[in-house]
Amino acid sequence: ADIAMYRAKRGRLGHAFYHQGEEEAVARRLTLEEALRRAFAADELELHYQPRVEMPAGRIRSLEALVRWRHPERGLVPPGEFITAAEEGGLIGELDRWVREAACRQLARWQGEGIAVPVAVNVSAVELRNEGLAESIGEALRRHGVAGRLLEVEITESAAMEDPERSVTVLGAIKAEGVAVSIDDFGTGYSSLSYLKRLPADHLKIDRSFVAGLGGGGADEDIVRAIIAVAGSLGLEVIAEGVETEAQERFLLEAGCRLAQGYRYGRPVPAAEMARLLRAARGAGGEG
Ligand code: C2E
Ligand code: MG
Ligand code: MG
Ligand code: MG
């Protein structure tokens, strides 16, 4: 009888705790959504830029724009802490539009200074279902007087494969604006090679989780070689994400991958700092 009562009690308590926890999670998310809405109004979002470079010298080929939230109390909040809330709260369209807008405004300035290189912006899976995406991208480019070749979009492999037929159409429309497409976090989704073949993409980014395992002789090395081979046969240029060490760089170069993004070459930095790097690269004759 004692055991039965204990079980009943624990069950009830467990139930109560579960609900309490759930309510707290919902409340936290609501607060985050509200705070994010206010962040737009208060202009608290900013873009940081990370170089994509040619190995081994590190010449900057293009940049990835990564959103951050300059929170008045919490400081610089990384996107991992608010992108999901933005997606669930229906704010991601607005957020990604803000990012495109900010990237185009920045590109227009860098174009004027003669230091512009292509900038890639991330597009959420939710935005990939937006009918007007390509049109919205083209409109932003024209309004800012930015050449299409200076903007790129990154879409994750898993997002692209959610509705592959649709992705073929949407990415095709984006490419028609002169904008290059990268398949992001490649290797973590479930690609159908027949759809991958049809996707109008330009670059394939090897997910950081595989790059982390390079140089030690493990299975990640075979996976990365296989990804590079697939990309090669599909005519896609490979970019390795998250390159941090010389051993990783050496492996990638030997495997035939020349482009990389990672802390080894530069962390994401604010626009002003990136502008200094671009000017220095130009001054050194690094950029054409
Ligand atoms: P991602 O698009 O795969 O971006 C690369 C992430 O890897 C960035 O994290 C970058 O800071 C980090 N990273 C780069 N090099 C290294 C390295 O050598 N080592 C390690 N450990 N990390 C490295 P971040 O900025 O925190 O962004 C995380 C994710 O948030 C992005 O992954 C992207 O999926 C998403 N995100 C960022 N900005 C946006 C945006 O404007 N819109 C949308 N929808 N998603 C965004
Ligand atoms: Mg990305
Ligand atoms: Mg990535
Ligand atoms: Mg990633």
Lowest mean pLDDT of 32-36, 99-103, 223-227, 282-286, name the range. Answer: 282-286
Tally helices (H) and strands (E) across the chain. Answer: 11, 10
| All residues with CB under 5 Å from ion ligand 2 | 122, 154, 184
Nearest atom within ligand 1 for CA of residue 86: 44
CB atoms within 10 A of CB 80: 7
Cβ–ligand 1 distance for 67 under 6 Å, the answer yes
Ligand lying closest to the C-alpha of residue 67: 1
Tokens 């204990």: give the residue: 6
Cβ–ligand 1 distance for 127 under 6 Å, the answer no
Distance CA 122, CA 91 (A): 15
Predicted confidence (pLDDT) at residue 9 exceeds the cutoff of 50 = no
Quick one: pLDDT at residue 47?
98
Quick one: pLDDT at residue 64?
98
Let me know: does 211 contact 264? Beta carbons within 8 Å. no
Cβ–ligand 1 distance for 244 under 6 Å, the answer yes
Q: Which amino acid is at 60?
A: I
Share of the chain above pLDDT 90, in %: 76
Which of 45, 83, 95, 267 best tests ligand 1's pocket when mutated (most atoms within 8 Å of CB)?
83
Lowest mean pLDDT of 125-134, 149-158, 204-213, name the range. Answer: 125-134
User: How far does the centroid of ligand 3 lie from the alpha carbon of residue 155, in Å?
Assistant: 9
Cβ–ligand 1 distance for 202 under 6 Å, the answer no
Predicted confidence (pLDDT) at residue 17 exceeds the cutoff of 70 = no
Task: Give the DSSP per-residue string, 210-240.
Answer: HHTTTTTTSHHHHHHHHHHHHHHHHTPEEEE
Radius of gyration in angstroms for the set of CA atoms belonging to the chain, rounded to a whole number: 22
Please write the tens of the pLDDT for every residue from 64-115.
999 999 998 889 999 999 999 899 888 999 999 999 999 999 999 999 999 9
Cβ–ligand 1 distance for 79 under 6 Å, the answer yes
Say what the pTM is.
0.90
Distance set, CA 87 to CA 69, 82, 127, 201, 249 (Å): 16, 9, 9, 24, 35
